[in-house]
Homo-oligomer: A and B are copies of this chain.
Amino acid sequence: MPSHTDLANAIRFLSMDSVQAANSGHPGMPMGMADVATVLFTKFLKFDAHAPNWPDRDRFVLSAGHGSMLIYSLLHLTGYEAMTIEQLKAFRQIGALTAGHPEYGHVQGVETTTGPLGQGISTAVGMAMAEAHLRANWGADLCDHRTWVIASDGDLMEGISQEAISLAGHLNLNRLIVLWDDNEISIDGALSVAESGDQLLRFKAAGWEAVRVDGHDPEALEAAMAAAIVSVKPSLIACRTQIGFGAPNLAGTAKTHGSPLGMQEIAATRAALNWPHAPFVVPEEIGATWRAAGQKGAKAHAAWHKRLAQHPNRAAFEDLIETKIDPVPLRNLIKAHCAEIAQHAPSLATRESSGAALEVLVPELDCLMGGSADLTGSVNTKVAGMKAFGPNAYQERYVHYGVREHAMAAAMNGMALHGGVLPYSGTFLVFADYLRPALRLGALMGVRTIHVLTHDSIGLGEDGPTHQPVETLASLRAIPNVLVFRPCDPVEVAECWELAILAEQSPSVLSLTRQKLSFQRCEGSPINRSAQGAYVMSPAQHPEKAVLIATGSEVELAMKAQTQLAQRGIGVRVVSAPCLELFEAQTFEYQNEVLGGDLPKIAIEAAVRFGWDRWIGPQGMFIGMKGFGASGPYQELYAHFGITSEAICAAVLGLD
């Protein structure tokens, strides 16, 4: 029977040899954490390597994603089918499953994409939240797993980690266990060049259990993990390790962090650890023991399937866990909602319209889990009957994230990845900057999260330029695979909610106003016009001189200008463009038809022009912001910055 050390050394050599073959990568962490990972994967982690998507598996998050060879080695050794030895040999090559950092969707067994530090641990908080929520609603028969994280010093230095651990402590997510690679080394050298704090005390201050163990002592690790799984609090286990463990000359130094060890040191390590096997060769007995570990959850998996098969609400659970949403009833719901609201044609802020849409959606869609970053009353994300999710109330669906935008967005990624939850949450649009790294990661992974971002321009008024986005829309539109919706009235808001909910592989942003807007779509929503991204809201009624393209709050200005120009016999069409990404996806013919071919174009958006030349050309006119905003009543700000129907009319009249 192979020893613990044999099993751990298999990880070490696969990792160092793969990095060497790639001539690129990070051997130090997998070598240092091999003992910890071996104890976790052979003794604790509930998984079935033959069923990577079993919903009740434990989630394992390698927050320190640069140590990707650790997880690739583990996936290979435990028998994940796709992770062949050839894949390890092709580490970091184009097309290989073994990308430089572990990528969700690229390879099974990777629960979330990691690499940007702090994201993994924060995403894991969302996974643990989803688990607690489903367990509360469906019982431990169907949902009874843990979330394990391996985190590095860098993960814990990032500010997002504080947001995440204080949120996890507040929510008392006791099935979240963080294994900290406490190796006292950073890229710049000894960790002490930049860090003097007491991590254990910090975690305790956030309501966690926190202990330190020798990360190379399998018995101590086993005892610590055994204690953690019965802890009534979330747990930190500081695993004191030596980076690059086993390399006789380089272990314990930053040199093992981000470069191959080199052939000479690898040979020396083989000698030191008594591992005579060639690169990529794992002795059969060791391999068999590892593969058996990969199957130790198979029995639990089978039992779970049996319980599911006998569950009275089996189909509902299966739909929920896949977060499948039938578009037909959703369309009907939105259609009815829009028909209803069009009868009253209210002047609402789009944040209020969003709240009204949620009043209809939340009761119908059990998967929706709302929240906000301490702006509940401002972002209208909490609907009637929603109660706070938390200890003793994990069945509830509203999360008070606190002023923790970054961890909020990362946790939303985690919930979406976990399955069974479709998370939406809100803050002010300008604070999208605070959550941007998590949003980017969500876009890269293609997860469905919905960000309700209100107070979306100078229209928020007196709070001034710190709170007034001007570049934020452009900066979000620049991210691949993010849908940026900026609807203009209650009907477009509801349509955009429908589109966001159905966008299974994209995060969405809803950019919404603080200020009230006039109602536009009096016909309701017999078809979802926002689905094409932009459309002619109001054709020209006179000989057509120009095309006005507007989004959100500026659509009413364009409509007003159209009326004013009509009084002078001048025709303009008004194009509403609630989602430029969806418009971009249309055919050129459709785009050209909407944009009126060669007609002069004027775009109106209370934001910077950046990005708009795509639609209006460098010769097109733009009525918007040229720089940061100012503090004052919003109507005065619009006048001050020249974003008015009069300015639009003057622009049209000034055309040759």
Interface residues of A, Cβ cutoff 8 Å to B? 22, 24-25, 65-66, 92-96, 99-101, 103, 113-118, 153-154, 157-163, 166-167, 169-170, 186-188, 193-199, 201-202, 204-207, 372, 374-378, 388, 400-407, 430-431, 433-434, 436-437, 440-441, 443-444, 461-467, 470-471, 474-475, 477-481, 608-611, 613-615, 617-618, 626-628, 630-633, 636-637, 640
CA distance A336 to B636 in the complex (A): 53
Q: Which residues of B sit under 8 angstroms from A199, Cβ to Cβ?
A: 205
Which residue of chain B is the closest to A390 with respect to CB atoms?
Answer: B193
Whole-angstrom distance from the CB of A23 to the nearest CB of chain B? 9
Across the interface, A22 reaches (CB within 8 A) one of B187, B204, B462, namely B462
14 of the cross-chain contacts (CB-CB < 8 Å) are A22-B462, A94-B633, A95-B632, A100-B463, A100-B464, A103-B465, A116-B434, A117-B403, A157-B166, A157-B404, A166-B195, A188-B374, A194-B403, A194-B404
Across the interface, A613 reaches (CB within 8 A) one of B22, B154, B477, B613, namely B613
Please state if B166 and A430 are interface contacts (CB–CB under 8 Å): no
Which residue of chain B is the closest to A153 with respect to CB atoms?
Answer: B403
Of A198, A207, A374, chain B has the most CB atoms within 10 Å of the CB of: A374
Whole-angstrom distance from the CB of A348 to the nearest CB of chain B? 20
Please state if B444 and A404 are interface contacts (CB–CB under 8 Å): no
Which residue of chain B is the closest to A199 with respect to CB atoms?
Answer: B205
Please state if A404 and B159 are interface contacts (CB–CB under 8 Å): yes
Which residue of chain B is the closest to A467 with respect to CB atoms?
Answer: B115
Q: Which residues of B sit under 8 angstroms from A608, Cβ to Cβ?
A: 478, 480
Please state if B202 and A205 are interface contacts (CB–CB under 8 Å): yes
Q: Which residues of B sit under 8 angstroms from A187, Cβ to Cβ?
A: 374-378
CA distance A294 to B201 in the complex (A): 41
Please state if B632 and A466 are interface contacts (CB–CB under 8 Å): no
Q: Which residues of B sit under 8 angstroms from A195, Cβ to Cβ?
A: 166, 170, 402
Please state if B403 and A157 are interface contacts (CB–CB under 8 Å): yes
Q: Which residues of B sit under 8 angstroms from A375, Cβ to Cβ?
A: 187-188
CA distance A317 to B198 in the complex (A): 39
CA distance A386 to B346 in the complex (A): 64
Across the interface, A162 reaches (CB within 8 A) one of B159, B400, B434, B440, namely B159
Q: Which residues of B sit under 8 angstroms from A153, Cβ to Cβ?
A: 403
CA distance A242 to B94 in the complex (A): 59
Whole-angstrom distance from the CB of A188 to the nearest CB of chain B? 5
CA distance A641 to B22 in the complex (A): 20
CA distance A498 to B611 in the complex (A): 29
Instruction: Beyond A202-B202, A433-B437, list 7 extra A-B contacts (CB 8 Å).
Output: A113-B466, A115-B464, A115-B467, A187-B374, A194-B404, A474-B611, A617-B617
Please state if A480 and B474 are interface contacts (CB–CB under 8 Å): no
Q: Which residues of B sit under 8 angstroms from A378, Cβ to Cβ?
A: 187
Please state if B475 and A480 are interface contacts (CB–CB under 8 Å): no
CA distance A240 to B206 in the complex (A): 20
Q: Which residues of B sit under 8 angstroms from A186, Cβ to Cβ?
A: 374, 402-403
Whole-angstrom distance from the CB of A189 to the nearest CB of chain B? 8
Please state if A400 and B197 are interface contacts (CB–CB under 8 Å): no
With contacts A161-B162, A474-B478 taken as known, whether A462 is within 8 angstroms of B92 at the C-beta atoms is yes
Q: Which residues of B sit under 8 angstroms from A613, Cβ to Cβ?
A: 611, 613-614, 617-618
Q: Which residues of B sit under 8 angstroms from A431, Cβ to Cβ?
A: 116, 437
Going nearest first, the 8 A-B pairs with the smallest beta carbon separation are A159-B159, A194-B402, A162-B162, A94-B632, A115-B466, A201-B205, A613-B613, A99-B631
Q: Which residues of B sit under 8 angstroms from A628, Cβ to Cβ?
A: 443-444, 480-481
CA distance A51 to B436 in the complex (A): 40
Of A101, A115, A631, chain B has the most CB atoms within 10 Å of the CB of: A631
Across the interface, A170 reaches (CB within 8 A) one of B170, B196, B430, B470, namely B196
Which residue of chain B is the closest to A155 with respect to CB atoms?
Answer: B403
Q: Which residues of B sit under 8 angstroms from A471, Cβ to Cβ?
A: 440, 478-480
Please state if A94 and B640 are interface contacts (CB–CB under 8 Å): yes
CA distance A65 to B631 in the complex (A): 13
Whole-angstrom distance from the CB of A162 to the nearest CB of chain B? 3
Which residue of chain B is the closest to A630 with respect to CB atoms?
Answer: B94
CA distance A157 to B630 in the complex (A): 27
With contacts A188-B372, A197-B206 taken as known, whether A101 is within 8 angstroms of B437 at the C-beta atoms is no
Q: Which residues of B sit under 8 angstroms from A480, Cβ to Cβ?
A: 470-471, 608, 626-628
CA distance A108 to B461 in the complex (A): 23
Across the interface, A433 reaches (CB within 8 A) one of B65, B66, B436, namely B436
CA distance A131 to B525 in the complex (A): 61
Whole-angstrom distance from the CB of A507 to the nearest CB of chain B? 13
Whole-angstrom distance from the CB of A613 to the nearest CB of chain B? 4
CA distance A219 to B405 in the complex (A): 37
CA distance A374 to B186 in the complex (A): 7
Q: Which residues of B sit under 8 angstroms from A636, Cβ to Cβ?
A: 93-94
